[in-house]
Amino acid sequence: MNIKQKIETAVKESGGYLCVGLDLNIKRLPEPVKGDTPDELIGFNRSIIESTVDFTAAYKLNLAFYEALGEIGFYVLKGSIDCIPKDRLIIADGKRGDIGSSAAKYAEAIFDKLGADMATVNPYMGYDAVEPFISRKDKGAFILTLTSNPGASDFQLQGEPQMLFESIASKVVEWNVSDNIGLIVGATQQDYIARVRSIAPELPLLIPGIGAQGGDLERAVSGTMVEWDGISLINSSRGIIYASSGKDFAEAAASAAKKLRDSINQILKKYEQK
C-alpha cells in the first residue's frame, strides 16, 4: 500500500478527515495523570488514541515535545507510536530539512526506528534535502508550504510573479512522481489557502491552525476540498487531547474529536447540496 492509498483508507475507516496532534506537554496533563514515569506518559497518549481512533484518520506527533523530555523522549515517542493502529496515518512532525546525508539519517530515524508513515519537511535546501523522505512509495513527506505563524509573511508571501509559497507548491507537484507527498498549509492563511489547492489539486494537504490558533474551519474545508479531488487532513491538538483536565479526559477527547470530525463532514455536505 502506498502513502496515497493509506491516507484514503484511513479517511474511509475513520469516517472523516481529522488529524489529532499528540503534543505531549507535561505541564498540561490532566490531574489524574501524574506523568512521573515514561510509561505513564505513554499511558496518557494511549488513552487519547484509544478514545479517539474511531474518529481519527491520522495522528501527528510533534517531535519537539518529546525531545524536550530529554533521554526518555525517544522511548516515550516510540511507545506512543506503537499504540497507534497500523491502519491510521502516523506523521512525525519535526520539520526536518538538511543536506542529503543528514536528511537520509533523519528519514532513517523517523521511518525505520520510529515507524512513522510521513515526516514534515522544510524544503528550503531543495530537492536533495527532501529526496530521502520520498524515495519509498510506502513512506512520504508533508512539505512546509504556507504556515500559520505571524512570521510566515517575512518570506512565504514574498516574490514576483509567484509568491514563495506558490513556487514551493508548484515544485512539489513536480516532485510527486510516487504519490507520496503532501503540502502543509496553515488554516490561518485564509486569503491564500485556496490558491495552494488550485496549484496542487490532487495532493493531500495537512492543515494545522484550527482552534487555538484561530483558523476558520469552514474556509479551510471549503477552500481545499469542495470542487477538488485532493484530501485535506484537519489537525487539532490542544483542543482535543486537553479537552478536560479531570478524570474524564479520555471521554472529553473522544467527544471533541467526534465533534470536529462531524463538523468537517457537515461543511462538505452543505456545499455538496448547493
Q: How confident is the model at residue 227 (pLDDT cuts 50, 70, 90)?
A: confident
What average pLDDT does the chain have?
95
- 7-20 residue pLDDT tens: 999 999 999 999 99
Give the global pTM.
Answer: 0.96
Q: How confident is the model at residue 162 (pLDDT cuts 50, 70, 90)?
A: very high
Percent of the chain with pLDDT over 70: 98
Of residues 63, 64, 60, 66, the one with CA closest to residue 22: 60
Task: Place domain 3-272 in its CATH homologous superfamily.
Answer: Aldolase class I (3.20.20.70)
Does 259 qualify as catalytic in the annotation? no
Determine which one of 12, 78, 95, 247 is catalytic.
Answer: 95
